[in-house]
Each structure stands twice: as C-alpha cells, then as structure tokens.
A and B are shown apart, each in its own frame.
Chain A
Amino acid sequence: MKPAFSIFGVIVIACLLGCGGSMIKHSDKDAGDSLSAADSVRRSPDPVLSADYPATKSTPAIVVKTEKDLNGYWVGKFKPDTDRQPLAAGDRDVWDYANLINVSIDSITGDKVVGHSVVAGNYRPFSGTLQKEGSIYKFVVKEPGNDKYDGAFQFNIAEGDSIVRGTWKATGSIKIPSRKYELTKRVFTYNPNNKLGYRRFVDWDKKQKVTTSNAEDDNTYVDTAYYMTTQDLYKYNASADLLTQEQVANLKKPDIFILRNSIFARHGYSFKKQPLRVFFDHQPWYIPVSTDVRSLLTPLEKKNLELLVRYEKHASAYYDTFGR
C-alpha cells in the first residue's frame, strides 16, 4: 500500500470514528426538561401570577360604559410602527414582527392606573395616569425601565366603544422602537377543551435539504424541508385526554413539541420563542396571561407532560440515528 493511500485511509477512519457519536445520538438540548417553562427557557416566576390567575377586577362587559369596565385584559396585535420590512420566513411566508399583547388594567384609583403587559414571554408591570377628556378615556402609562424592552404606552378609548387604540415607545434603543395596537377586551378562562386550529406549526429556522424525485421528468430536485407539524397533531388534546404510550410513540417530534406546548398555551403561557408565538397567537382562544403557569397544571396535564417530554427527548436524540 502506498503511504499516501494509507494516510488517507487513517484520516477516513478517524473521521468515521469521530462522527460515530452523532450517528447514534444527537444532543437533545431542544427537548426541555419535564415541567419547567414551556418553551424551555428558564425564567424566574413572576411574583404576581405564579400562584393563580390574576385577580383583576375585570367586568365581563366588552363595551366600555363606565370607568369600571376599563379593568381587564385588552388583547390584540402589537404591531411595529416603523418602516421595518417584514421578515421573510421560509419561501412563502412572512412575519411582520407583530405579537399578541395583553395590556391588563389591574386597578384605577382616582387618576392613578396600575397594570401590566404580557407579550412575547415578557411580563412587565406599568403605572401611570388616566384622564377623561369629554367622552374619551386617555391613558399614559410607563413600564419601570429596567428591562431592555420597557417603554411607555399611550392609549385611548371612547365611552361606548369596545376598541382601545394606542402607541408604544421604547425607553431604550431597540430594533423596533415604536409600536401601535388596537385591542379588544377579553376574559380569560382556562378551558381544557380548547382545540388547536388547522394551522400548521412551522419553524422556519430549522430546515434541512431533502432530495425529491419527480416521476414525470425523471429528475431529482433539492428541496427544503422545514420542521413542521403533521395532521397527527389534531388527533389528540393533551389537556383533555390522558394520552397513552402507544399514541405518543408514533408521533413525530414537531407534533409532540406542539402537543406539549399547547398544554401551557391553554393556561395562558406567553411564549418567548418566536415560532411558538406565531403558532399560538393565531389560535382564537389564546391569550398571553403569564410567564409561568407551572402551578396551574392539572394532574392529567402533568401526566401527559411527563410522557410527552420523554418521547420528545427520545425523538430529538434518536429519531434519525443508527439505533432503535
């Protein structure tokens, strides 16, 4: 054997031995640990909401007739008020940086307003003033300013109206320094029977090249496969039904991932991860309420979570490896 050939051989063998580990197991950093935060980002529980759903003095009235009706969750799209171009997601979708925001008016005493906002996995208290000019309620409130994404809200609603309109300006300099919004009042109730709508979850950041062949012209194409859910997702409800091992064992990872996170979403968990946000913001029943819902999970949900986490770990570490 020529020396060059044998050196080449040694290098090939070294490479094969080196990648052996990843042939049998991927590191499962995505899987998230059992009952911690939904999108596996660890955060300290926020002080107000960790014990129970917030006890705002909300009235069920959707139309503001008296000042009392201002209390409650005002929910809607928190849209950029800049000329920033929408973010291209994949080949056919865009995201306009809009997140579902919950502006909660917790108490009004005199002209003092106290409340909090929940958006994109961020729970922030605010306080400020309320002025009534004619029939219009005018709010000016501020977040504390010690968070990168803190800012000031200005919003109005007319007596007899059901829509809050306003703007928000960031305190610091961030990518999107100003936003606008139209919010409607919504009452949050936990309902385990809330179903996921027929909308696919797609993580545009996770893609891999796949080759597909076309039978008609005998050519093969390189296509992009994204990390996305399948129709299997809509077969099960992880908050209402006790899932069995047989059911979960035959699910692919994106379906397990969304089933798991749907449990948190039904409790009003606000997601930090953008792809999850886009998916759950579009569920008609969904309201971001809290950044920690662990104490609110039902025994059935905890059981399902344990099963789902186990199979999610297995799927992310072993699904496409040399193994079982």
Chain B
Amino acid sequence: MGLSKVININRAGYLAWYGVLLYLSYLMLLITLQYIPARLGVAFLLTKEDVTGMLHYRIAFFTHVYTGMFVLLTGMLQFPAIIRRKYPKLHRWSGWVYAFLIILVTGPAGLIMGIYGNGGLISQSAFCLLAALWIFFTLKAVLAARAHQFAVHKAWMYRSYALTLSALSLRAWKWLLVLLFQPRPMDVYHVVSWLGWGGNLLIAELLIYYTFRKSLKSRVESLESKG
C-alpha cells in the first residue's frame, strides 16, 4: 500500500510534498557548502567556540555535516514504489549506504555532538535521544529486511526517515517560530530540539498505524472471502 492511498492525497499534492522536500534539501546543501573548505568560526560553529578546540568534536561535527546530505538523498530513494518495483538493486544498494552511514558513521557523530549540544540539558537530552533512536530504528529496519519481514521493515524505515528529516523540520520550525513570535534564540532552540523530530515521529507513527490497520483489515477480508 502506497503512502498516497493512506493519507489520500492526489498526484499533484504528492509532487508538491516532494518539491518542498527537494527545496529544503537544497537549502541543506547550501548550509553544508558553508563548511567547505572545513573551517571554524562560521555559521553554527560561531556558537560552538567552547568545544571546537576538541579534536573529537571537530571530527564528529564535520563527519555529520558532510555525510548528512547523502543520508537525506539515499533515504529519499527508498520510498517511491517505482524504484522498489522496477529497480530493486538501486533500492537495496542505496538502502545499505543509508543504513551504514546512520548506524556506523553519522549517527554516532550526532550522539557526540548531542553531548556537547547548545542549550543545556533540555536540548542535549533531545539530541542524544534523537541520535540513539535514529541508530536504533535504522538497525531494526535492516534486521527486518534481512529477515524478509518487509511490512515491519517498512514501519521501521518510516520511523528512521522521520528522524532523518528532522534535519529539515528542525530548521523549518525554527524559521517559522521566529517569523511568528520573534522569540529569544535559545528559547526557540529548546523548543525545536524536541519539536524538530518529535513532530515527525508522531506523523510516522500515525502513517504506520493507518497503513497497518488497513493492510491487516484487507488481509483478514481476503482470508474471509477465501474461507
């Protein structure tokens, strides 16, 4: 069952969502490009001078920044049904890249960054939990795929990519909240550190709930009609 049937949007709406996703990914690319060549004292790092002296923080930060785009893009390839059906090899290979980067590279890097996160315990706990869940969901998705439990695989991938997309939603929330309320910078940071991924995960859970309920229902119905 495709996403579009579950949330009942038409083709144009579907394309519009992809357009938004691509545009925000493009903005992420521009943010990434600010750190090429690798340098301190720009953008986000202006607020991190207390920790950029530590080698492990610098390694974690630049790893996270440089791999982030690939995770976003390989993740995007997982969802269109056409790729899964017609190009299963592409699906599998990009999926492996996606999972490898999250579980072993940028997820752990995110965890290290979370420990030194701005805004004290409120946002540090949010970012550490985000990184831990990100690795966990992705690992579960890989294990489910290896066990050929594809419905379960799909559910874990929804959760995993919901957290991947927090890179975009956190920044979009921040933009929107500042536009609407002009809050203090660290106040808005506290809010988006939770809202940025919490909202996405809630949407993912709703999608999973309705997908599974419907697919279970249809399976029961087909069994009944056979019986």
Contacts and interface: CB of A to CB of B under 8 A. Distances in A.
By size class, the interface of chain A is: 20 to 34
A77 interface: no
A245 B49 CA distance: 9
B23 interface: yes
B104 interface: no
Contacts of B186: 246, 249-250
Interface stretch (B72-80, B134-142, B173-181, B218-226): B173-181
A23 interface: yes
A161 interface: no
Interface stretch (B39-47, B146-154, B205-213): B39-47
Contact of A16 (B23, B44, B46, B120): B23
Contact of B184 (A25, A232, A314): A232
By size class, the interface of chain B is: 20 to 34
Interface string A76-106: 0000000000000000000000000000000
A245 B47 CA distance: 8
B118 A25 contact: no
For the residues of A in contact with B, the DSSP-based class is helix
Interface string B169-208: 0111011001100101111010000000000000000000
Interface stretch (A120-128, A167-175, A316-324): A316-324
Contacts of A321: 175
Contact of B171 (A313, A314, A323): A323
Nearest to B175: A322
A322 B172 contact: yes
Contacts of B49: 245, 310
Contacts of A17: 26
Given A21-B30, A249-B118, A322 B179 contact: no
A20 interface: yes
Interface in A205-229: 210, 225
A249 B47 contact: yes
Top 3 nearest A-B pairs (CB, nearest first) are A250-B186, A314-B46, A320-B178
Interface of A: 16-17, 20-21, 23-25, 210, 225, 232, 245-246, 249-252, 310-311, 313-315, 317-324
10 contacts: A23-B27, A24-B27, A311-B46, A311-B47, A317-B43, A318-B43, A320-B175, A322-B174, A323-B43, A324-B171
Given A21-B30, A322-B174, 4 more contacts: A225-B182, A245-B47, A245-B49, A320-B178
